[in-house]
Amino acid sequence: MTGSRFRVGIIGAGRISDLHAIEYLQNPLARIVGVCDRDAAQARSKLAAWGIPDVAVEEDVDRFLAREDIDLVEILLPHHLHLPVALKAMAAGKIVSLQKPMCVDLAEADQLVAAAEAYDRPFKVFENFIFYPPVLKARELIDQGAIGTPLSIRIKSNPARSATAWEVPPSASAWRSEKSHAGGGPLVFDDGHHKFALAWHFMGDPEEVHAFIGDTEGPGGMRFDAQSIISFRFPGNRVGNLEIVYSPDMELVTRHYAQDDRVEITGTAGVLFINGGHGRLGATPPVTLYRDGQITTYDVPSGWEQSFVLSTRHFLNALQTGGAPVLTAREARQVLRFSSAAEQSAREGKAIRLAF
């Protein structure tokens, strides 16, 4: 750290790195000092687009981690590289922010939890959806008692098509199609991590998970694990589900992935709707509350990139104040347990009871 700034090294300058860069570029607590990607030309073009073309690029992770002028690494690699690179980053003494999912399976997760909990520097698994402003607003309203006690969460993931979506390079889909690299399916395990994180955030750890997982052709010939329904039971007679539906002929408005998400949380006294995620089905308000015959809407910022900005800001503030990062390695393992139980349930054709 120089002065009061964390010197940041980004490992993996792929699709999602653009949204991670936003807060590191604007927050006075941080400064991007290096980017590592085996595709150096791509890393340079990212740096040019971010307005910092003179920052050094390195193709080799080991050489990058040996740099003493990097305090914090942001690991944005394919999932099979998460465990080895995170372990190396800790061995090199770096502060670590590791994109979700923490790794490809629970055996790897156990190794990572043990290493992170024995480590004397901060370690975070990056999960942005719980920092999405409409989600923060819903959480604030729930904490104020707006819907009474939450009894049920209903989450809908709805990939579709979009003329306004950003470009996803074929290389970003290629590794996701290999189970050994991705760990699980693109919608249940990979994107599903965010949805299970939401369920965990609002309802806590589930005690039982039951799933039907479909298989269909997605864009570019990719297999999509849709249409799928995953049901959860939480302690105290509370329930939830995640429904994943691919609508190939439905046009969405989005600046990011061709997908939308919707969440409905029903409590003892009211209902909260989070009406959008990556994209928009029309001009719905980001958050709607129903209570006592009244509908109240909340016009909070709903650009999806804000979830990345606020997740990173929370981490930088936690580093300054000594607060806990979100997610900790143990929390991330709980979310991973949730998504791997869904895949296990569909594979074995039975409900999976969980002990955390």
Q: Is 337 in the site for ligand NAD (CB under 6 A)?
A: no
Query: Judging by DSSP bridges, how do beta strands 123-126 and 150-159 pair with one another?
Result: unpaired
Question: 212-242: b or e for each residue (b if 16 or more CB lie within 10 Å)?
Answer: ebbeeebeeeeebbbbbbbbbbbeeebbbbb
**Binding positions for ligand NAD, 145-164, rule CB under 6 A:** none
**Binding positions for ligand NAD, 190-219, rule CB under 6 A:** 190
- Choose which of 33, 65, 99, 331 interacts with ligand NAD (CB under 6 A): 99
Report the alpha-carbon distance of residue 184 to residue 190 in Å, rounded.
Answer: 7
Q: Which is nearer to ligand NAD, 48 or 172 (CB)?
A: 172
Q: Which is nearer to ligand NAD, 59 or 140 (CB)?
A: 59
Q: Are 268 and 149 in contact (CB under 8 A)?
A: yes
Q: Which is nearer to ligand NAD, 93 or 169 (CB)?
A: 169
The site map against ligand NAD for 165-184 (x = CB under 6 A) is: ------xx------------
Q: Which is nearer to ligand NAD, 64 or 202 (CB)?
A: 64
- Choose which of 78, 122, 184, 206 interacts with ligand NAD (CB under 6 A): 78
Q: Is 130 in the site for ligand NAD (CB under 6 A)?
A: no
Q: Which stretch binds ligand NAD (CB under 6 A): 74-82, 151-159, 220-228, 245-253?
A: 74-82
The amino acid present at 169, given as its one-letter code, is P
CB of 87 to ligand NAD, least distance (A): 14
Q: Which residue is nearest to ligand NAD (CB)?
A: 14
Q: Which residues contact 347 (CB under 8 A, 6 or more apart)?
A: none
Q: Is 42 in the site for ligand NAD (CB under 6 A)?
A: yes
Q: Are 75 and 98 in contact (CB under 8 A)?
A: yes
Q: Rounding to the nearest 10 degrees, give the CA dihedral for residues 174, 180, 181, 182.
A: 90
Report the alpha-carbon distance of residue 299 to residue 23 in Å, rounded.
Answer: 22
**Binding positions for ligand NAD, 43-72, rule CB under 6 A:** 61
Q: Are 299 and 285 in contact (CB under 8 A)?
A: yes
Q: Which is nearer to ligand NAD, 146 or 182 (CB)?
A: 182
Q: Which is nearer to ligand NAD, 141 or 188 (CB)?
A: 188
Q: Is 79 in the site for ligand NAD (CB under 6 A)?
A: yes
Q: Is 305 in the site for ligand NAD (CB under 6 A)?
A: no
Report the alpha-carbon distance of residue 46 to residue 297 in Å, rounded.
Answer: 38
- Taking Cα atoms as reference points, which of 176, 197, 155 lies closest to residue 333? 197
Q: Are 72 and 8 in contact (CB under 8 A)?
A: yes
CB of 38 to ligand NAD, least distance (A): 4
Report the alpha-carbon distance of residue 75 to residue 73 in Å, rounded.
Answer: 6
The site map against ligand NAD for 2-41 (x = CB under 6 A) is: ----------xxxxx-------------------xxxx--
Report the alpha-carbon distance of residue 99 to residue 76 in Å, rounded.
Answer: 6
Q: Which is nearer to ligand NAD, 81 or 90 (CB)?
A: 81
HEC assignment per residue over 290-334: EECCEEEEECCCCCCHHHHHHHHHHHHHHHHHCCCCCCCHHHHHH
Q: Which residues contact 162 (CB under 8 A, 6 or more apart)?
A: 251, 252, 253, 254, 258, 279
CB of 43 to ligand NAD, least distance (A): 7
**Binding positions for ligand NAD, 238-277, rule CB under 6 A:** none
Q: Which residues bind ligand NAD (CB under 6 A)?
A: 12-16, 36-39, 42, 61, 76-79, 81, 99-100, 128, 171-172, 190
